[in-house]
Structure 1
């Protein structure tokens, strides 16, 4: 199971940002871009979100008085979080966290940080939370409380004629992955064991430095398929002009945002506010805008991970 290790780079943002900015109208049935107050690279107009007095009353007094929610953002992981041309954080997790903070009457202070620095800064109290494609695991719950708002897992992307119907479809095939990702270390070796047990050939793993190169290897016919976290695959498919299709999602886990363990008031307030966004349709709008609705959850939960 992947933990957030398929690190997308600015190269993928260059490849796909145009699609999400200009293509947002398609993702929202032609409505995106009609509101001059809402930038083309965000799904929500924060000025139109009404504050939930009930959820806001649950906030710790320190944060309520401060008026800001400090969020660490690993802006290297499209479509979850990355940078626009001006260097501002964008992405579906950014939209969702900004909207939730607005529901609580707070402004979000998005602090761009390296993946490895976000967790320590939450522990130190410098960040209230962070987003970096975090899975909710039993191990993570030992130190953090997770507000879960998404299902994610391993997914294959391929050309239509090579659609993956089963994990064993990749036996004997060239599969592209990003260098440093966990797929070649953990996930693909497990599938290869099944391939060999079934009398099939080994998987040929092709490593690339960027997610852009990984996807291009499939588009150009150099690889049979690529494997990545499901939001990455969904986003690549959405912006492929109909060339790519995705497999089902394997090894799914709840995913969300970590909060410092014991910060119960903030966790409960944030979960309650996000649930209101789920109930009023804002949550769905955000996921659909970014093409990641396959990971939709039925309800916002806390510490739902069981693995």
Structure 2
């Protein structure tokens, strides 16, 4: 899972939504477009072919119930009115409408999403989930993204290799996977090649982590790739992002056994990919580095 091995904080939204106004959409107005959404749902045409794959009970119900942990910009967070926004929200909503269903987005705590999918209270959920072999034991993953570790830096300190950070000060999210697992492995390679140790500087918010780099206190920062890509997009050209390292497929989990729903959702997502909507959403949120060529199911092998 992307976020929970990193970190989340409401303060992220304050620094990263610069230039975005609060949604003009009223509660329940699924078709309204605003500065905080990449897609006008009213413009998406239903796919009869994808909708024909839906299980009868969901087609009859007419809604798709999605659990959202809205604490992780830019994947999913809240606008000023408390409505869920983000690139995963946009993509899942668009696929839902493509299936002829109405989005029923329910904000939920992270720890409650998986149990509610298992209890059939949610059809799926989004919280920055990696597709892993372990997760596939109980869920089928519709994969629509590639994520991993990414560095952000000033242009003069562009990271072209992981070993560029040897001997440097690197800002990181406190408690995240980068300082706990990723950087120690990179440091082993630094030392093996006779290069300096990495000085890790921990911060509680993305804003603080990025500021350390902008002010010259740190050489670069590292975090989950959507977080870094979004920071770079909103830096007004002050920051650049590196390649993404140690990538894994990511997407939305569905309860095992719901084969028809998984097939239908993957088909709808692929149509969005083919007609350009997928790219529009990723580009809008600045996370196009995680683009994949084909929507897959259970592509994780680790």
TM-score by length of 1: 0.92
Which residue is equivalent to 1:8?
Answer: 8
Deviation at 1:171, TM superposition (A): 1.1
Which residue is equivalent to 2:78?
Answer: 83
Which residue is equivalent to 1:41?
Answer: 36
Q: What secondary structure is seen at the aligned counterpart in 2 of 1:240? A: coil
Q: What secondary structure is seen at the aligned counterpart in 1 of 2:144? A: strand
Which residue is equivalent to 2:164?
Answer: 169
Q: What secondary structure is seen at the aligned counterpart in 2 of 1:153? A: strand
Deviation larger for 114-123 or 237-246: 114-123
Task: Give the distance between the partners of 1:206 and 1:21, measured in 2 at CA.
Answer: 32
Residue of structure 1 aligned with 2:190, choices 195, 219, 223: 195
- RMSD over equivalenced CA pairs, Å: 1.6
Task: Give the distance between the partners of 1:139 and 1:194, measured in 2 at CA.
Answer: 28
CA shift digits 1:67-117 (9 cap, x unpaired) = 111111111111111111111110000000000000011111111112222
Which residue is equivalent to 1:115?
Answer: 110
Deviation larger for 4-13 or 136-145: 4-13
Contact kept? 1:3, 1:135, Cα under 8 Å: no
Counterparts in 2 of 1:3 and 1:74: CA distance versus 1, 3 Å: closer
Counterparts in 2 of 1:260 and 1:37: CA distance versus 1, 3 Å: closer
Task: Give the distance between the partners of 1:134 and 1:261, measured in 2 at CA.
Answer: 16
CA shift digits 1:154-187 (9 cap, x unpaired) = 1000111111111111111111111111111110
Task: Give the distance between the partners of 2:226 and 2:4, measured in 1 at CA.
Answer: 11
Q: What secondary structure is seen at the aligned counterpart in 1 of 2:150? A: strand
Find out whether 1:135 has 2:130 as its counterpart: yes
Contact kept? 2:2, 2:129, Cα under 8 Å: no
CA shift digits 1:100-157 (9 cap, x unpaired) = 0000111111111122221111111111111111111111111110000011111000
TM-score by length of 2: 0.94
CA shift digits 1:186-227 (9 cap, x unpaired) = 100000111111112211111111122111111121111111
- Structure 2 unaligned residues grouped into runs of 5+: 23-30
Contact kept? 1:4, 1:229, Cα under 8 Å: no
